[in-house]
Structure 1
Amino acid sequence: MRILVVGAGAIGGYFGARLLKAGRDVTFLVRAKRAAQLAATGLIVKSPLGDIDAPRPPLIEAEALREPFDLIILSCKAYDLDGAIKSFAPAVGPNTLILPLLNGMRHLDALDQRFGAGAVLGGLCAISTALDDQGRILHFSDFANLAYGARESAQAEKAEALDKVLLNAGFDARRSGKIAQEMWEKWTFIASAGLTCLMRAAVGDIEAANGADLAVALYNECAEIATGAGFAPREPARKFAGGMLTTPGSEFVASMLRDIERGAPIEADHIVGDLLRRQGAKAEPGSVLRIAYVHLKAYEARRARETGAKAERSGA
């Protein structure tokens, strides 16, 4: 099975490197700058689960795509989705499967519209990674999980066929019979973790400030939206979220907070805004979810203003 990994960043690069080491037929779709970097240094992963050094990873740029691949693994940020779709579209044939690992659900609408729902599986991952200044992939956790599954019954056989390439590839992979449910449960949790962005603090700091009730309120609000969509979080998911969001002394923060702290783009609309949109007229003006969203949008507005001002000064 020919696999195209879109990008060789912190997530796609990690799973792609594991697949490559396991002997799978993997090619990385990269931009010119990343291609030059990888050609010079190779694809390097530093991980507690074992390092990887692939001196010459198979690379391709969008302009060179001519033939379809069997599987496309997509793990870009939501704000890069349109560009990613345009770049890998030539690699999608009548039998190609697309496995997106983005958070939330809105990306499925864009992929379905462009390629048809039958080509797009459900997927999610749990991993903590980042790129360093040298382009190496740093894996911080002792886990790397990937789940995939059919979103409709007609995809079941195709999803099962992925077992041969995704299982036993150096990370914890599993095929889920309820992938949409799991995606909603993860979405509900990470949107609730947006409280750390609002407070600019870790869970333990918020708890120390007697703010655990706000974390619970935000999670319950998100869970209510999921329930209204037909995906009420199950008890294990609720228990996990409750522990992660209220544990005294916890240093857990949303990855979006790390993006904010380094002045990077964020997925405000995809993760928090889309939940709020689905809540519709039921959203209260003072809801914690709405306040968290306004905070994120205010950050985006300020970032855009300061970036624009910097560009004007440079132009002058």
Structure 2
Amino acid sequence: MLFPGVLYFILFKYLPMWGVMIAFQDYSPFSGFWGSEWVGLKHFATIFDDDSTFQIFINTIILAVYNLFFFFPLPIIIALMLNEMRKELFKRLVQTLIYIPHFISWVVVVGIAYILFTTEGGIVNDVLVSLGGNKINFLLSKEWFRTMITSEVIWKETGWGTILFFAALAGVDPQQYEAARIDGATRWQQMVHVTLPAIKSTIIILLILRLGHFLDSGFEQIFLMLNPMNREVGEVFDTYVYAKGIEQGNFSYATAVNLFKSVVGIILVLVSNHLAKRAGEEGIY
């Protein structure tokens, strides 16, 4: 039963890692891996010398922080709220409805956002005008770009993110709730003193794994939302790598940037895992 999963990781995760070597070469598709000139850390030096890289790093960090503080807690909160529901039919209905957006592609999600927030007939701006306000160009505004991106992620992925927390909640011993009720604990006190401690390890493990993807802002969504007016705050490592590697054909430099991003992710995982162990948790290894 493990074979298909192991084969997937070997073929699509480990074997492609040979391509990392082009970050240390002036790679040419015609010369190949072994015929391209070896240049060492030249492209990594260029990353730190390029003025635009710093702005891209800041943009990526800010979006990552937005997702960490506004998106990450929401699946936990929603799972806790649904766990308190006693009507099973209504609970299942809500779960199904909040799962659905996960299966919608980013192309459709961004299309919906354009329809809702455009200044030409968009519902949101029509409502603002009807209330006596002025139209806001959400789609071209630098000030609204990060809010739009984070809001789309919340709408699309919050429901799906509750699945792991539901699984953790299913493992809570019912006798603990019974003991808490006997001691006179309210529903809120049961959640704070029984439910949350029971799923704390799951929350910490998912947070550590999340930090490993801290700089992964999501290429498709941001690429579709980018335009010349918001590019200053919207260009992130994922879109920058695409522009340098695919559009400009600078494969070595693009690989170096992506490798740098991966190294930062590994460091964050190691540090957060160490801190989790220092706090008495198991961590991920």
| Superposition TM-score tier, normalisation by shorter sequence | under 0.3
Instruction: Select the structure that is richer in strand.
Output: 1
TM-score (structure 1 length as normaliser): 0.24
- TM-score normalised by length of structure 2: 0.26
Between structures 1 and 2, the one with greater helix share: 2
Compare CA radii of gyration and give the structure with the larger one: 2
